[in-house]
Amino acid sequence: MRNEEAKAAGEALLRRLRRLVARAATVKDTDHKQLLALLDDIETTRRGLLKECAEVEGEMRQATVRTTAIGAYLRNSQAHRGKRHN
């Protein structure tokens, strides 16, 4: 499971993206330097969010595998209980 630090990092990236979007709304079309800086910041934030998404996806895959294994173990144990040993 993701620890609290990883969750906080993901939340911080989302907050940063919201701030960047708000800042982008106020930039004038003629301010090329600020637009380039914003694009760079947004791209950096996007890459960070993609990394976080990949980590969450991996954890979800791992949880699915564990759930499947637990289900198989449960079915197997119930099958053995139903059998009578002669």
Q: Would you say 1 and 59 are in contact if contact means Cβ atoms under 8 Å apart?
A: yes
pTM for this one? 0.71
Q: Would you say 23 and 38 are in contact if contact means Cβ atoms under 8 Å apart?
A: yes
| 55-73 pLDDT per residue, tens | 999 999 999 999 999 999 9
8-state DSSP, 85:
P
Q: Is the pLDDT of residue 81 over 80?
A: no
Q: What percent of the chain has pLDDT over 90?
A: 64
